[in-house]
């Protein structure tokens, strides 16, 4: 599934916009390890409210206003969010595998709105670091647009939610 990085200075705005304007359907958190890890949360959010409350040193995951998990930021640990689109080949449930979402020799796509790609079934906000994988799934395409330049030489960008 293709992923588009969110710049560190845009995390809060991007996540809060997504939660404010779109209804998440699922949240999944597990510890990281070579063979996967223990699930912390694996919950459908059908009639539930998901919120993220930022605090000093991290953020809390709240479901129906009850804290379920606290994600602590560790110094020196990679804590960047990405926006991922889950796409399937037309007419079946075979996922389209894309490593980066950025144009490269193996994947000629031009970004999230490339007309050669089918419409995304889901949008997933992801945070993956040395300790945990966090995924918040939305059952629709959340539109994104280019934000800050990530790498001028190869034309890669950071992305933000586009309302």
Count how many residues are written for the chain: 163
pLDDT at 134: 93
Cβ neighbours, 10 Å, residue 102: 20
List, in order, residues 6 or more apart from 58 with CB less than 8 Å away. 70, 71, 72, 73
46 in Cβ contact with 25 (< 8 Å):
yes
How far CA 39 is from CA of 12, 24, 100, in Å, comes to 24, 19, 25
Highest mean pLDDT among 80-84, 109-113, 128-132: 80-84
Convert the pLDDT of each residue in 73-110 to its tens digit.
876 667 789 999 998 888 878 887 765 566 666 666 67
Using alpha carbons, select from 130, 36, 149, 17 the residue that is nearest to residue 83: 17
Q: How far apart are CA 112 and CA 100, in angstroms?
A: 11
**pLDDT 10s digits, 22-60:** 999 999 999 886 566 788 999 999 999 999 999 988 899
């Amino acid at each position: 599934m293709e992923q588009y990085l969110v710049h560190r200075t845009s995390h809060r705005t991007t996540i809060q916009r997504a939660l404010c304007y779109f209804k998440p359907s699922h949240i999944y958190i597990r510890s990281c390890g070579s063979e996967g890890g223990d699930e912390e949360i694996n919950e459908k959010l059908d009639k539930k409210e998901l919120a993220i409350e930022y605090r000093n040193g991290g953020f809390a995951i709240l479901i129906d206003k009850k804290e379920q998990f606290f994600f602590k930021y560790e110094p020196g640990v990679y804590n960047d969010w990405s926006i991922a689109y889950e796409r399937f080949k037309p007419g079946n449930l075979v996922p389209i595998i894309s490593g980066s979402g950025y144009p490269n020799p193996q994947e000629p796509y031009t970004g999230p709105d490339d007309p050669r790609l089918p419409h995304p079934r889901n949008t997933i906000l992801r945070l993956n670091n040395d300790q945990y994988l966090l995924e918040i799934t939305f059952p629709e395409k959340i539109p994104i647009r280019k934000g800050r330049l990530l790498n001028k030489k190869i034309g890669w960008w950071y992305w933000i939610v586009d309302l």
